[in-house]
Amino acid sequence: MTKTRNQNHDDGEASSSSRKKRLKTYDNGGVGPWSHLSNDVLFLVMMQLGIFDFLSFSRVCKSWRSFALCNRKSFMASKPPMSMLLSSHGFCCLEDFEGRKLKTIIPHCVGRKCVGLTCGYLILFGRKTKDFWLVNPITRHELNFPAFCLPNLYIVKATLVFSSSLNDWVFVVSHKNSFNLWFSVSGKGAWNHIPSSYPILDLHTFKGKVYTINKNNKYRVCEMTLNPEPKLTFLEMKNISKLYVSHLVFISSGENLYVMDQSSQDSCNVEELDFGKMEWVLPEKKTIEEYAFFLSTWNGGAAIKPESWASAAQPPSKYKRYSYDYECMRYITDESQKGGFFGANMWYFPHECVNVDHIN
């Protein structure tokens, strides 16, 4: 009888265990849990999310977090730029084209001024400490660089790169009309300078190289190299640019590098640097129509094809938009075009937040 009782007990435990397994696998409707969705279905769902919902999506469970991290680059590349506001108390507000807002706290922000944006990192400069903190509001990654003599907070030019030869982060800094380019390697606690023959107007990383715009009688473009020794080398161009020299910035589409005149919000001119022919060329009409150029007061801008965005939502009217008038040869305010130019105090580009350029 004891043996029978133990056997019944064992059978009962086995039956109970089996039921628990079934309960863990299926709910009352016979439907599998969300964590068992196939990757193909999960990808389709994920790509329909806004950037703020994506952050919540990545915190649901370990499997979803792993999936989100593996596909983060594709997701971010599909999202349009967002306007950004940053308070002195450390609160950051991001707003997408659908009017959704996200407020988050940015560390190291108190007592600092945001002087720019590079590769998704906010560049925070200490008013008293004079050092830099770079904070990515999406990935939450942080980098610190030592004190730097900055004469004017409003004319900072900076870019963050990863050096393959040094196997470390490199932060390159200048300020408008400076005759020096400065760089610091993460954790080294020092700044190194590269002299320039002409004042530097802007700097930008493009396809693994750092370029500067230098003010001459017109202007010239230089390439920065770190090895075998740090230096700036002038690029020999076959023709001369027609852009106005005082207010030039780099604009990159990822495929092409442009130089743009931002002398006023009512008239913008752009030329493409053709590295194959080493010439300045005017973009074709179809190029202007294909791209949306985002101009920012603080961090330059970017040229993006709207067709790459997963959402078909159009920007709200409060974002000022421009288009090119070929008869007048200028850019004018125009809300009717899909492309054109959009202005904001600061744009945040999701596609750049997980895409730091690598240099030699």
- For 277-332, the pLDDT digits (tens) are 999 998 877 777 778 788 776 666 888 887 767 654 554 444 555 444 444 444 44
| Cβ atoms of residues 349 and 302 within 8 Å | yes
The larger pLDDT score, comparing residue 289 to residue 8, is at: 289
Q: Where are the domains of the chain?
A: 36-78, 79-359
| Cβ atoms of residues 334 and 340 within 8 Å | yes
* The predicted structure's pLDDT at residue 162: 93
- For 81-139, the pLDDT digits (tens) are 888 888 877 888 888 777 778 888 898 988 898 888 898 899 999 989 999 999 998 88
* The predicted structure's pLDDT at residue 158: 92
Concatenating the DSSP letter of every residue in 190-205 gives --EEEEEEEEEEEEEE
- Mean pLDDT, to the nearest integer, of 135-159? 86
Q: How confident is the model at residue 37 (pLDDT cuts 50, 70, 90)?
A: confident
The larger pLDDT score, comparing residue 151 to residue 255, is at: 255
Please tell me the distance from the alpha carbon of residue 279 to that of residue 345, in angstroms, as a whole number: 32
CA-CA distances (angstroms) from residue 324 to 125, 224, 242? 37, 33, 17
Which contacts qualify for 131-137: CB closer than 8 Å, 24 or more apart? 132/171, 132/173, 133/107, 133/108, 134/160, 134/171, 135/106, 135/107, 135/108, 135/109, 136/353, 137/92, 137/94, 137/104, 137/106, 137/348
Cβ-based neighbours of 46, under 8 Å, separated by 6 or more: 54, 57, 67, 68, 71, 75
Cβ-based neighbours of 203, under 8 Å, separated by 6 or more: 157, 158, 159, 172, 174, 181, 210, 211, 212, 213, 224, 250
- Mean pLDDT, to the nearest integer, of 169-180? 92
| Cβ atoms of residues 331 and 282 within 8 Å | no
| Cβ atoms of residues 144 and 138 within 8 Å | no
Please tell me the distance from the alpha carbon of residue 360 to that of residue 184, in angstroms, as a whole number: 15
Fold type of domain 79-359 = Neuraminidase (2.120.10)
Best-predicted range by mean pLDDT (7-11, 25-29, 170-174, 246-250): 170-174
The larger pLDDT score, comparing residue 115 to residue 52, is at: 115
Q: What is the pTM of this model?
A: 0.79
Best-predicted range by mean pLDDT (9-13, 150-154, 217-221, 306-310): 217-221
* The predicted structure's pLDDT at residue 300: 67
Looking at residue 174, its amino acid is S
The larger pLDDT score, comparing residue 35 to residue 21, is at: 35
**Can you give the C-alpha Rg of the chain in angstroms?**
26
- For 264-289, the pLDDT digits (tens) are 443 457 889 999 999 999 887 777 77
CA-CA distances (angstroms) from residue 226 to 170, 210, 262, 299, 336? 10, 10, 30, 24, 46
Element (H, E) at 91: strand 91-95
| Cβ atoms of residues 111 and 96 within 8 Å | no
Coil vs helix vs strand at 29: coil
Instruction: Provide the percentage of residues in the chain whose pLDDT is more than 70.
Output: 77
* The predicted structure's pLDDT at residue 222: 95
φ/ψ (deg, to 5) at 113: -115, 130
Mean pLDDT of the residues in the chain? 79
Between β-strands 142-145 and 156-163, what pairing exists: parallel, antiparallel or unpaired?
unpaired
Between β-strands 320-325 and 340-344, what pairing exists: parallel, antiparallel or unpaired?
antiparallel
Q: Classify the phi-psi angles of 177: left when phi > 0, otherwise alpha if psi is within -120 to 50, otherwise beta.
A: left
